[in-house]
A = this chain, B = another copy of it.
Amino acid sequence: MVKVGIVGGTGYTGVELLRLLAGHPEVEVTVITSRAEAGRPVSDIYPNLRGHFDIPFTEPDLGQLKSCDLVFFATPNGTAMKMVPGLLDGDCKVIDLAADFRIKDLAVWEKWYGMTHACPDLVAESVYGLPEVNRQAIKQARLVANPGCYPTAATLGFLPLVEAGKVNLNGLIADCKSGVSGAGRGSSVGMLMGEVGESFKAYGVPGHRHLPEIQQNLSIAAGQDVDVTFVAHLLPMIRGIHATLYATIDGEIDLQALYEQRYANEPFVDVLPLGSHPETRSVRGVNHCRIAMHRPQDGNTLVVLSVIDNLVKGAAGQAIQNMNIMLGMDETLGLQSVALLP
Q: Which residues on A are within 8 Å of B, measured CB to CB? A: 12, 15, 18-19, 22-23, 46-52, 171, 173, 175, 177, 180-181, 183, 185-189, 191-203, 205-207, 211, 227, 229-231, 233, 235-240, 242, 244, 246, 248, 270, 275, 277-286, 288, 290, 294, 296-297, 299-301, 303, 305, 307, 311, 336-342
Contact = CB atoms under 8 A, between A and B. Distances in A.
A152 to B, nearest CB: 16
Most buried by B among A23, A202, A311: A202
A303 B192 CA distance: 27
Contact of A296 (B19, B22, B205, B288): B205
Given A52-B338, A192-B185, A206-B296, A238 B180 contact: no
Contacts of A23: 336-338
A237 B200 contact: yes
A173 B207 contact: no
A342 B181 contact: yes
Nearest to A248: B171
A278 B177 contact: no
Contacts of A197: 180, 193, 197-198, 237-238, 342
B12 A342 contact: yes
Contact of A205 (B177, B186, B236, B277): B277
A300 to B, nearest CB: 8
B229 A279 contact: no
A341 B15 contact: yes
Nearest to A51: B270
Contacts of A173: 173, 246, 301
Contact of A206 (B187, B195, B294): B294
Contact of A199 (B171, B175, B280, B290): B280
Contacts of A290: 47, 50
